[in-house]
Structure 1
Amino acid sequence: MLRKNDYRQSFSRHLTSQTNPTIHNLNPRANGNHYGSNRPCQPLDSAVTTYTILNKQDRHVLGSLLHLKLTTRNRTGSPRTCGGDFFQAKLFSPKLNASTAGKIVDHQNGTYSISFLLGWTGRAFLSVTLVHPREALQGLRKVRETPNTGYLFNGTFYDHKEVLDEQKCYSSYEDGFDNEEDYCSYTKPKANVSFWCRRPKKKNVGCEQLAFVVSDLASKDKYDEANGKLLNEEEWLYFRKGQYFQVEIAAEDGMNEVIVVQKELVSCAKPLGLTSGSIRDAQLSASSAVPGYEAHRARLHGQRAWEPASKNTSQWLQIDLKVPKVITGIQTQGLWGGMVPAYHLMVSDDGQTWTKGSETFDGTEDGISITEEALAPPVVTRFFRIFAAASDLPRLRMELLGCDQASQFRDNYVPQTFLHQHGPPPGLPPCGPNLPVSQSEGYFYQDVWYSTACRAASWLTRPYVETCLRNRTVLLQGDSTVRQLAGELETLLGARDHYRCQDYKEEVEGRYPESLRLYVWTGPIAVCQKLDKKVVLQFRFHHFPVRAGSQVELANLRTIVYKLNTIHPGENAVVLLSLWAHFTDDPLEQFEARLWAIRAAIEKLHRRAPQTLVIFKSPNVRDQLYLSKVLMSSDWLAYDMWRRLKEIMAGLNVAFLDIWDMSACHHSVPQLHPAKEVTTNAIALLLSYICPM
């Protein structure tokens, strides 16, 4: 097991000056969001854990907050009295490609508060997911804090002609690693980078001849076996998918959706008269009707219903409202012996020229229940028709919801709207360091991210990118998720005015035999302007650990501390750092030590070049396809590292590019390298930090 004294002793020369010893506490915090707790508590039962909307309304106002209370319960159905579970929540509208992540607060008493910013109008659905119960988090911590149970490494000792020896390598300290007779140390004390390999067994092969390192990715079964020895049978239980892992939590009262409208339409949801009879029989007509089931019988809760004489999709029911009205919703009901299938709508100002709505609505599941659909956007019309979208419309009773405010709107539709329709809301600060805490990081609308934390661009054009990056040196260092952003930035800059002025892949071509299978994506990769050769974009991988299935050349790696120390005054540099994906299975204290070294380097950089902008990019949610990946790369592990990183960097003049919520709420499948819709919006947000609005 990791021993703090052993670890500190191995880095005593540097940790003493650059690490705050008071934060090295392996016990999780018991307060705050998702920190966890070790108090005895009965296990959570996801089947009886529920949430409820606290501020229920028929219509919610655009820009307001939706508040939920999540109550966890044990197997007897009794409320639990402890927290420390890991949940994720989102609000989404699939037809609008709109979504936002919920802000979750753990009250440490078995209840959680979840809040959502309502950023767009229309119908939106709730999703609350139990990712891990507290018992699973205890298992994750046990695995993480046990050194070298995740990714191991194979080191290749090489003399530029042939492989001399191969030995196991390790990224986490264990007892005995200080024994120079058995191990070679490749630690970088100034950067708190740790790495060890077994000493070569062959004669005349020295530690200095280590040339390549590759991840032992083929040993997943071995890792399962190793972790199986760490976790007991009960602890394994809490990683069972569908019961304790990635479980959708139900709404207590079944209410898992909301309707959002503009403020002036919040009360525009009154029955327009089909049920009360204020809409007269003569105002209803139909393409055809079965005797006794004529058009005027299509009234909610009526004794009979409208039933067309022909069973096809050209049959319709029409309502003449006499004057244009705003229609915000429709309620449908079947009748015994028949239900309402899916349907679509048409509207007209004169009863002659009709406009078909783009949306298809669900019908009813039986002949008794009432289904209400919100029209997003609402329509302004006098004539209203309902058509079957399926083969028939057996029996229909209905009511229209709306109001008489038609004069406020032009054309046939109330415009679909969202908070940023006319630009960022007033009061948002420019993107940059030391932003105040916000109720929400932002929301997607039609796959465009709108930040509610700061004034951010929601567009990306080549001229905008070039103008923002002109005369700047942008250094991106970290893992492949920031390399992904570098690649997309390179594409946006275009090949006409820019070119790759440095490419490690080209530099090493032919240097080593193909049988080595060299990993060529560690960088450096640099993009220069063609005219003045100025580097505007450069990517490098962080130093060990590097989880790669191909050989990583040791001599090509540079630590983040080293790169920060090479930035000169007047360079007009921007630094984007990403540290998470390759560190999730290493002890947290080891990760923290590296962060303290980076903090010290940033402090020196800001004394030397105070205008240098340093930005930390957050993790993103990722795939959790099999148990080993969960144990080594759980979203909670990444989330916990991001929390610690922000705590350690507190007080520095650095910015945080937080794309966690962006990736967590988007409709794409979670993966290590997010979908292009996510990364494109991440770049737009990044440029808003570099060139504040």
Structure 2
Amino acid sequence: ATSADFTEFQILHPGSVYRVGDILSVLIRAKDMRNREKTYGGDFFRAKIYTERTKSSAPGRVRDFGNGTYGVTFRLLWEGDVTVSVRMVHSSSAVRVIKRVAEGFPFNRSWYQRRYITGNKSSTGWCSLNPNDLQIPEGGGICDFSDSYAGVEWYCQRPEGVACKQSVFHRHNGYLKEHTDLGLTEEEMRYFKFMHRRKNSTIQVAGNSSGADEEEQLPSCRPGLPVPVPSGYYRNGRWVSRVCATTRLSPLEYKKCLQNKILDFLGDSTVRQWAEFLAKLLNMENIPVPYFTSATAGPVHYLETEWNITTRYQSHGTPLKTYTWTNATVLSNLARIIDSIPGGPDRVVVVTLGLHFSNHPLSVFIRRVRAVRAAILRLRSREPETIVVIKPPNTTGASFNHLDEWPLFQIYLVLKEMFSGLPVVLVDTWEMTDCQFHEDNVHPTNDVISEEVSYMLSYVCV
């Protein structure tokens, strides 16, 4: 296995003077537990540059050369003492285990259930993305809740004496255990105990010769703009976009901008954070729904009456990891939710997809994203002035079987590629959390959420 302690990195072509705007190149040389250089790739690294004093930071791009070395490039975006930080998230041995488990347990690492109601009696059955994972209950059968139009496959056991239409509630009910259920050895378990080991080095960066402010030369924010690498960076704790000239408004100014608008937040709990943050910022009222639901699934509605601003959060449907029994009738599939939105200049549609797919095959995610992409193109076709925002998954700091960052990074790359070149807004929340000053968490802190929402609103309040 790769040793985070012995693995080292060096700055290539070190110069006596680094200036703002320069590209800094770093070479990582992976070594094993005996301090021997590795001759193959597959390790998962993250890297960033930062200045603690000014709360400035930016993500780096890591390239695997396949021979035990890795290249990292950074654009130097501010002056002063800048620390280069390289972090090994997973060794190649750990990544191989993740891939093996994904192939051996493609659909059943997460447990889901349906509850059926018949009169005053209830019964439950297990659910899966693959009907072959489900045993047919004695006297019962298998219900097919799939929706090929929306790219959804979903099957549940039907207990004896009930009909599929009597399925009322859904919930997530746990995971297979790494050691006892997934067959990991003690040695393989140790691969995941040495995550996120970092090494740092500091350089001095001088101002550029022209003194030009890169931010002032950017265009106004509008959907479809090309996205550079990185898409932005933190300066004084604020996200500075390299895509467009962003705006920061007061709550009252945001209310004036959003007057008579409807904002849909569709996906998972990380985009629900956006809806909740905006509701608090604008002092919006939570409008109760007349049927049982859960915060994870939604729908959750907020209203600001004076300026007639409406927001809605709703989940993307199954697979949905909520331990609370949730009304299955509200688990509409994301492509159909988007199809139901009229669109127009007063409509903003924010979509995220990824976290709940991280321990299922990537093909499942790709099939779902294709359907969502098609629905977004239909929405843009009938109402071209609709603003559509794509929010990728963020870093989580989690390991292996639940929200692991390696499969989430693959999901992030797919999502970026699928929406590249389309007239949509990409808020690169992977980059924004990759270089944050907080510990990684599936639900980022409020100051990070504030920067994400502020950047998104720059495309609405131009």
TM-score normalised according to structure 1 size:
0.62
C-alpha separation in 2, matches of 1:86 and 1:461: 40
The one-letter code of the counterpart of 1:452 is R
Aligned residues: 460
Secondary structure at 2:459 match in 1: helix
The counterpart of 2:424, out of the listed 654, 658, 665, is 654
Q: Which residue of structure 2 aligns with residue 133 of structure 1?
A: 91
Are the counterparts in 2 of residues 132 and 246 from structure 1 also a CA contact under 8 Å? yes
C-alpha separation in 2, matches of 1:157 and 1:142: 35
Secondary structure at 1:585 match in 2: coil
Are the counterparts in 1 of residues 128 and 134 from structure 2 also a CA contact under 8 Å? no
Q: Which residue of structure 1 aligns with residue 112 of structure 2?
A: 153
Does the alignment pair 1:258 with 2:203?
Answer: yes
Does the alignment pair 1:472 with 2:261?
Answer: yes
- Alignment deviations for residues 136-163 of structure 1 (CA, whole Å, 9 cap, x no partner): 222222323423342201221124x634
**Shift in CA distance, 200/454, structure 1 to aligned 2, threshold 3 Å:** same
C-alpha separation in 2, matches of 1:142 and 1:98: 39
- Alignment deviations for residues 454-493 of structure 1 (CA, whole Å, 9 cap, x no partner): 3223x34213322332333211100000000001111122
Matches within 5 A, 1:297-308: none
- Alignment deviations for residues 150-178 of structure 1 (CA, whole Å, 9 cap, x no partner): 2201221124x634212222244536689
Secondary structure at 1:632 match in 2: coil
Q: CA shift at 1:73, angstroms?
A: 3.1
C-alpha separation in 1, matches of 2:5 and 2:326: 47
Secondary structure at 1:67 match in 2: strand
* Percent identity of paired positions between Structure 1 and Structure 2: 27
C-alpha separation in 2, matches of 1:264 and 1:587: 50
C-alpha separation in 1, matches of 2:337 and 2:385: 17
The one-letter code of the counterpart of 2:261 is R
Q: Which residue of structure 2 aligns with residue 47 of structure 1?
A: 5
Q: Which residue of structure 1 aligns with residue 191 of structure 2?
A: 238
Runs of 5+ unmatched residues, structure 2: none
Matches within 5 A, 1:345-356: none
Does the alignment pair 1:443 with 2:233?
Answer: yes
The one-letter code of the counterpart of 1:154 is Q
Secondary structure at 1:483 match in 2: helix
The one-letter code of the counterpart of 1:261 is A
CA RMSD of aligned residues (A): 2.8
Does the alignment pair 1:619 with 2:393?
Answer: yes
Q: Which residue of structure 2 aligns with residue 503 of structure 1?
A: 288
C-alpha separation in 1, matches of 2:260 and 2:121: 45
The counterpart of 1:223, out of the listed 170, 173, 177, is 177
Runs of 5+ unmatched residues, structure 1: 1-42, 266-417, 512-517
**Shift in CA distance, 153/640, structure 1 to aligned 2, threshold 3 Å:** same
Q: CA shift at 1:58, angstroms?
A: 4.7
Q: Which residue of structure 2 aligns with residue 91 of structure 1?
A: 49
- Alignment deviations for residues 3-31 of structure 1 (CA, whole Å, 9 cap, x no partner): xxxxxxxxxxxxxxxxxxxxxxxxxxxxx
The one-letter code of the counterpart of 1:214 is R
Are the counterparts in 2 of residues 186 and 194 from structure 1 also a CA contact under 8 Å? yes
Q: Which residue of structure 2 aligns with residue 666 of structure 1?
A: 436
- Alignment deviations for residues 312-357 of structure 1 (CA, whole Å, 9 cap, x no partner): xxxxxxxxxxxxxxxxxxxxxxxxxxxxxxxxxxxxxxxxxxxxxx
C-alpha separation in 2, matches of 1:178 and 1:594: 27
C-alpha separation in 2, matches of 1:668 and 1:232: 33
**Shift in CA distance, 107/677, structure 1 to aligned 2, threshold 3 Å:** same
C-alpha separation in 2, matches of 1:468 and 1:226: 55
Are the counterparts in 2 of residues 62 and 419 from structure 1 also a CA contact under 8 Å? no
Are the counterparts in 1 of residues 354 and 365 from structure 2 also a CA contact under 8 Å? no
TM-score normalised according to structure 2 size:
0.90
C-alpha separation in 1, matches of 2:81 and 2:88: 24
**Shift in CA distance, 682/437, structure 1 to aligned 2, threshold 3 Å:** closer
**Shift in CA distance, 541/257, structure 1 to aligned 2, threshold 3 Å:** same
**Shift in CA distance, 45/530, structure 1 to aligned 2, threshold 3 Å:** closer
Q: CA shift at 1:77, angstroms?
A: 4.5
Does the alignment pair 1:688 with 2:458?
Answer: yes
Q: Which residue of structure 2 aligns with residue 642 of structure 1?
A: 412
**Shift in CA distance, 569/538, structure 1 to aligned 2, threshold 3 Å:** closer
**Shift in CA distance, 524/106, structure 1 to aligned 2, threshold 3 Å:** same
- Alignment deviations for residues 350-398 of structure 1 (CA, whole Å, 9 cap, x no partner): xxxxxxxxxxxxxxxxxxxxxxxxxxxxxxxxxxxxxxxxxxxxxxxxx
C-alpha separation in 2, matches of 1:569 and 1:549: 33
Are the counterparts in 2 of residues 63 and 419 from structure 1 also a CA contact under 8 Å? no
Q: Which residue of structure 2 aligns with residue 387 of structure 1?
A: none
Q: Which residue of structure 2 aligns with residue 410 of structure 1?
A: none
**Shift in CA distance, 125/596, structure 1 to aligned 2, threshold 3 Å:** same
C-alpha separation in 1, matches of 2:3 and 2:461: 48
